[in-house]
């Protein structure tokens, strides 16, 4: 016991870092917190591209269902800026960015030309619903009812896509990002003016 006390005195910081590392390995919420801190720097964020380099997905049939069973076709949303976020409750990067998605939703959900499609990809839909409720998130809960085009979603979580009013992909970002930054809001404001 005396040797352990000596070791801890001389290696206390190593023990603390080791303990934190173990916590990060086993706790999805701890991983999400760390990723949120990194994402808040804005270094991981993508920028919305110019229209001339955008991809058109206007002929793609892609549908989603809300909790009430109402189906939305993405191709019917032309004339609106569409924010699509693919997520799952078990995904630490999704958990990390979700508070920023919620903040973005709260700021723009009342804008008539803005649509939010937060698409849950949990195998068990109840897990996604429970996650939103437990954390007080009010974003729309949607699930796919048709296959999702590869140019929209290629299997990586989280994936975020922003379509402009013409249905062109103006942002496609894979991985954690912070959507509650003023710089992102400025880009969305510009799209809403187009």
pLDDT in tens, 140-152: 999 999 999 998 9
pLDDT of 45 reads 67
Domain limits, the chain: 39-193
- Of 191, 152, 153, 167, give the one whose Cα is nearest residue 76: 167
Tokens of 120: 């849950």
Identify the top-confidence range among 1-10, 54-63, 105-114.
105-114
Query: Hey, which CATH number is domain 39-193, 3.40.50.700, 3.40.30.10, 3.40.1170.60, 3.60.15.10?
Result: 3.40.30.10
pLDDT of 33 reads 72
- Of 142, 145, 146, give the one whose Cα is nearest residue 132: 142
Q: Containing H/E element for 15?
A: helix 2-26
pLDDT per residue as tens digits for the range 37-88: 766 666 666 767 665 544 554 445 689 999 999 999 999 999 999 999 999 9
Question: Regarding predicted confidence, which is higher, 26 or 133?
Answer: 133
DSSP 8-state class, residue 174: E
DSSP 8-state class, residue 34: H
pLDDT of 24 reads 63
Q: Strand 168-174 to strand 55-56: parallel, antiparallel, or no bridges (unpaired)? A: antiparallel
d(CA 11, CA 17): 10
Q: Is 153's pLDDT higher than 50? A: yes
- DSSP calls for 149-172: PTTT--S-SSEEEEE-TTSEEEEE
pLDDT of 58 reads 46
pLDDT of 26 reads 72
Percent of the chain residues topping a pLDDT of 90: 65
d(CA 85, CA 12): 42
pLDDT of 145 reads 95
d(CA 33, CA 188): 26
């Amino acid at each position: 016991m005396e040797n352990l006390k000596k070791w801890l005195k001389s290696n206390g910081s190593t023990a603390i870092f080791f303990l934190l590392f173990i916590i990060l390995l086993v706790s999805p919420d701890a991983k999400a917190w760390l990723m949120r801190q990194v994402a808040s720097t804005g270094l991981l964020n993508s920028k919305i591209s110019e229209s001339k380099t955008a991809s058109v997905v206007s002929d793609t049939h892609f549908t989603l269902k809300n909790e009430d069973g109402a189906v939305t076709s993405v191709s019917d949303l032309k004339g609106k800026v569409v924010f699509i976020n693919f997520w799952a409750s078990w995904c630490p990067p999704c958990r990390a960015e979700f508070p920023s998605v919620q903040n973005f939703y709260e700021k723009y959900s009342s804008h008539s030309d803005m649509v939010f499609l937060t698409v849950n990809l949990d195998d068990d839909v109840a897990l996604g619903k429970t996650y939103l409720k437990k954390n007080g998130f009010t974003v729309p809960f949607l699930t796919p009812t048709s296959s999702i085009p590869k140019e929209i979603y290629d299997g990586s979580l989280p994936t975020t896509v922003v379509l402009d009013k013409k249905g062109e992909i103006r942002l496609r970002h894979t991985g954690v990002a912070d959507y509650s930054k003023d710089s992102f809001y400025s880009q969305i404001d510009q799209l809403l003016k187009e």
